[in-house]
Amino acid sequence: MHIGKAIRLERIFNRNTGKTIIVPMDHGVTVGPIAGLEKMRDTVTNLVAGGANAGLVHKGQVKLGHRMQGRDFGCIVHLSAGTCLSPFPNVKRLVTTVEEAIRLGADGVSVHVNLGDETEGQMLSDLGSVAASASEWGIPLLAMVYARGPKVEDEYDPEVVAHCARVGAELGADVVKVNYTGDAETFAHVVDCACVPVVIAGGAKLDSTRDFLDMVRVSIDAGGAGLSVGRNVFQHADPTRLVEVLNRIVHQGMDVDSAIEGYEDIL
């Protein structure tokens, strides 16, 4: 591996465990300034205090979240965008470049692809182009790959999710982010098929913190490399303490019952 890419990956992944807690905060473009993202610097401060490994943001948020003090925090700049207001909300277009992300101080970049959409071809082309640039510059690439389109009956189907993961890996991603399939056996199949580290998405805000923690634990047991989860983290009543519990699960290998000892109030 390019030494620059290896060094940058260690700013996103815990070098001792090979796993990561990434918190995406790119929702302002997709759905607007939702709860938890009103004051970016405060949000980042809370996540860093809990021990999150990295945040994922659009280019304009890099300066908004820069704290100029405290512990370092990996920065992944998201290169693609689309909004829920569009008549084609599954379409994601590149809105910046690898080179601009590097100028902003990024440790990694990310691209979103929705397989099954009518514009899938353009999104795949964008992923391939970004992968080439990321390889040239030695910067890690995370591919968020989901199945969303008229032919997709169930985007959580294990074979569909495995296809998503494999597309990201085959087109050059260093890490793929996909939906969790619901159980250890099927998610282990996804991980085995990917050939690169796989992190789970969080999706919509869950009603139960315990359900979220159980999902993370099972995904790790199945071979997952951690999580890239936004709303279920930054919209929690106490994101700092939640991330502390996630650290116990992801990096210390605790089961959920052990991890929440002393943290029962976050459930």
Helices 209-221 and 184-194: crossing angle, nearest 10°?
Answer: 50
Taking 70 as the pLDDT cut, the residues of the chain under it are: none
Q: How far apart are CA 237 and CA 10, in angstroms?
A: 29
pLDDT for the residue numbered 69: 84
pLDDT of 205 reads 77
What domains sit in the chain, N to C, each tagged with a CATH number? 3-266 (3.20.20.70)
**Most distant CA pair in the chain, distance:** 49
Express each pLDDT in 136-172 by its tens digit: 999 999 999 999 999 999 999 999 999 999 999 999 9
Other beta carbons within 10 Å of 266: 17
Q: How far apart are CA 176 and CA 35, in angstroms?
A: 26
Query: How far, in Å, CA of 78 to CA of 65, rounded?
Result: 14
Q: What is the pLDDT of residue 65?
A: 84
Residue 71, pLDDT score: 87
Question: How many Cβ atoms from other residues are within 10 Å of residue 183's Cβ?
Answer: 12
Residues marked as catalytic: 146, 177
Q: What are phi and psi of 256, to 5 degrees?
A: -65, -40
